[in-house]
Amino acid sequence: MVVQDSTDAGEARVGVRLEPFLHQVGGHLSLMKYDEHTVCKPLISREQRFYESLPLAMKGFTPQYKGTITVHLQKDSRGHLSLVATPLKENRGPFKVSTESAAVAIWQTLQQTTSSSGGVHPLVQWQLAHSLEESPATSLSRSEFHLNAPVSTLVEDAKGNQAERRSFNPWGLQCHQAHLTRLCTEYPENQRHRFLLLENVVSQYKHPCILDLKMGTRQHGDDASEEKKARHMHKCAQSTSACLGVRICGMQVYQVDKKHFLCKDKYYGRKLSVEGFRQALHQFLHDGTRLRTELLEPIQCQLRALLSVIRSQSSYRFYSSSLLIIYDGQEPPERTAHGSSSGGVSKVDIRMIDFAHTTYKGSWDEHTSYDGPDPGYIFGLENLIQILQDIQEGE
């Protein structure tokens, strides 16, 4: 949505009202939707430098870097808070602005709920209500959400018309709430913030199924405090990060029989055993009616290609980075009603994200330099490929 903004000198300029990104499945920084093909996130200098010096071989496995923007808080006449982006001069030019308002409508409704909920966090209210609605006989933990596509009370526009029904993951809204709260309490109202612009890697998918995997056996950066280092080492030791070099940080998988996403969060991933991790991978590839076996080979093929690239990157350590596995919950039209393939190939995508703690020779603030490729990342990729191969051979 385009909005009018003004500089401190009163000069009018065009801004873009950012929407919460409804397919964020993991991470703690809020990911925002800039337009249909672009998302943005708070700028961290180390991550920006990584994208700007990205090795050519890795470009096919990372989101396209599109530059930076400045962002500030804005409150409308109804008291709704939003983030408005002003493109920097080097980024200005034609851009496609989304006309889709479902994300904004959902967020504004949650803000309205805050004032009348008696202090109960609106997201908690919403999650509890829909957990009970979906499964009245059982209580869902905070690690699992069954989300119906029609959430009519949350997607009505200002005139009461129901917007296009769609399913979304609550994790991104939680991150957005936390981020706005932090901006409101820690910074002046007119503070400008820098954000990175990145490719929206799920824009081409109708029902994007996303698995967010925290890769490697170590998650703290070289600059971590002793307290943070100990905390991350404990998380790794108590999860599959230690024994597999990979753990689940979040996921959403479209269930075609119920027409909604099944979502899991990082708390679920931390508790998994090795066998639980294998079962979770199986669940990620299951659409509620069958295992999408046709996806196994292309996923493994891309993971092997990434493994080859990582092995060639001497000195890189991708601490605390994630790996996304993406496919469409909407099956290709070439598949027949009986589930047999008539030659159609399901598209899958593998992308590395989150490089705030990545270090390599030549990064100006490196505390320690390393030789050879990242052993923890390689260990995780090898185990991930092996588990997927075991699933394939078991079918």
What pLDDT was estimated at residue 195?
A: 95
Which tens digit of pLDDT belongs to each residue from 67-119?
999 999 988 788 778 899 987 665 544 444 333 445 555 555 555 544 444 33
Contacting residues for 184 by C-beta, under 8 A, at least 6 apart: 73, 81
Q: Which helix (H) or strand (E) holds 321?
A: none
What pLDDT was estimated at residue 215?
A: 96
Which tens digit of pLDDT belongs to each residue from 368-392?
788 999 999 999 999 999 999 999 9
What pLDDT was estimated at residue 110?
A: 52
Contacting residues for 186 by C-beta, under 8 A, at least 6 apart: none
Helices 122-134 and 170-186: angle between axes, nearest 10 degrees: 170
What pLDDT was estimated at residue 6?
A: 53
What pLDDT was estimated at residue 3?
A: 61
**pTM recorded for the entire structure:** 0.80
DSSP string, 325-346: EEEESS--TTS-TTS--SS---
Show the low-confidence residues of the chain (pLDDT under 50).
9, 11-12, 92-101, 113-166, 336-343
Task: Look up residue 394 and give its two tokens.
Answer: 């078991």
Domains of the chain: residue spans and CATH:
13-90+170-201 (no CATH), 204-332+344-394 (3.30.470.160)
What pLDDT was estimated at residue 222?
A: 82
